[in-house]
Amino acid sequence: MVALARALRKSFVELGPTFVKLGQLVASSPGIFPAALCDEFRQLLDDVPPERPSTVRRVVEEGLGAPMGRLFASFEERPRAAASIAQVHRARLHDGRKVAVKVRRPGLRGRVERDLRLLKLFALPLERAGSLGRTISPVAIAEDFATRLRVEMDLRIEARRMAEFGRNLHAGGGNPRIQVPEAIDGMVSEAVLVMSYVDGDPIDVAARRFGSEAVFDVGMAAMRAWLESALRHGLFHGDVHAANIFYTTTGDIALLDFGIMGELDPRLRHVLCQTLPRAIRNAVLRGDSRGVGAVLLEAGLSRGPVDEEALGRDVAAIVQQHLDRSLSEISYPRLLIDVFSVALHHRLTLPREFILIARQLVLFEGYSRMVAPDLNIFAEPDIVTYLFEGLIDARVVARLPEILGRV
H-helix or E-strand spanning residue 262:
strand 261-263
Q: Which of 117, 152, 187 is the last residue of a domain?
A: 152
Task: Please tell me the pTM assigned to this model.
Answer: 0.79
Same domain, 402 and 273: yes
Same domain, 132 and 270: no
Task: Kindly write down the DSSP assignment for every residue of 348-399, as one continuous string.
Answer: EE--HHHHHHHHHHHHHHHHHHHH-TT--GGGSHHHHHHHTTTT--HHHHTT
Q: What pLDDT, on the 0 to 100 scale, is given for residue 65?
A: 97
SS3 259: coil
| Pairing of the two strands 183-188 and 178-179 | unpaired
Q: What pLDDT, on the 0 to 100 scale, is given for residue 178?
A: 93
By C-alpha distance, which of 166, 162, 155 is closest to 189? 155
Using CB atoms within 10 A of its CB, is residue 32 exposed (0-12), middle (13-18) or buried (19+)?
Answer: buried
Q: What pLDDT, on the 0 to 100 scale, is given for residue 298?
A: 79
Same domain, 273 and 137: no
Q: Would you say 147 and 221 are in contact if contact means Cβ atoms under 8 Å apart?
A: no
Q: Which of 119, 152, 185 is the last residue of a domain?
A: 152
* Domain coverage including residue 136: 2-47+108-152
Q: What pLDDT, on the 0 to 100 scale, is given for residue 385?
A: 59
Is the residue at 351 inside a domain? Answer: yes
**Distances in Å between the alpha carbon of 86 and those of 59, 207, 231, 241, 260?**
11, 27, 29, 17, 13
3-state DSSP helix/strand/coil % of the chain, to nearest 5? 60, 15, 25
What 8-state DSSP symbol labels residue 48?
Answer: -
SS3 234: coil
Is the residue at 326 inside a domain? Answer: yes
Cα–Cα distance between 361 and 377 in angstroms, integer? 10
Task: Kindly write down the DSSP assignment for every residue of 292-329, as one continuous string.
Answer: HHHHHHHHSEESS---HHHHHHHHHHHHHHHHTS-GGG
Q: What pLDDT, on the 0 to 100 scale, is given for residue 180?
A: 96
Is the residue at 293 inside a domain? Answer: yes
Query: What is the sign, positive or negative, of the torsion defined by CA atoms of 360, 366, 369, 370?
Result: negative
Task: Kindly write down the DSSP assignment for every residue of 79-96, as one continuous string.
Answer: -SEE-SSEEEEEEE-TTS
Q: Which of 152, 176, 205 is the last residue of a domain?
A: 152
Same domain, 17 and 146: yes
Is the residue at 98 inside a domain? Answer: no
Is the residue at 223 inside a domain? Answer: no
- What count of other Cβ atoms lies within 10 Å of the Cβ of residue 240? 23
Cα–Cα distance between 248 and 202 in angstroms, integer? 9
Exposure string over 43-81, b if 16+ CB within 10 A, otherwise e: ebeeeeebbeeeebbebbbebbeeeeeebbeebeeebeb
Cα–Cα distance between 181 and 306 in angstroms, integer? 45
Q: What pLDDT, on the 0 to 100 scale, is given for residue 403?
A: 40
**Distances in Å between the alpha carbon of 404 and those of 54, 77, 384?**
59, 54, 11
Q: Which residues of the chain have pLDDT under 50?
A: 390-407
Number of domains in the chain: 2
Q: What pLDDT, on the 0 to 100 scale, is given for residue 269?
A: 85
Is the residue at 196 inside a domain? Answer: no
Q: What pLDDT, on the 0 to 100 scale, is given for residue 405?
A: 44
Is the residue at 387 inside a domain? Answer: yes
Q: Would you say 386 and 231 are in contact if contact means Cβ atoms under 8 Å apart?
A: yes
- Name residues whose C-beta falls within 8 Å of residue 70's C-beta, 6 or more positions apart in sequence: none
Is the residue at 69 inside a domain? Answer: no
Q: What pLDDT, on the 0 to 100 scale, is given for residue 406?
A: 43
- What count of other Cβ atoms lies within 10 Å of the Cβ of residue 128? 11
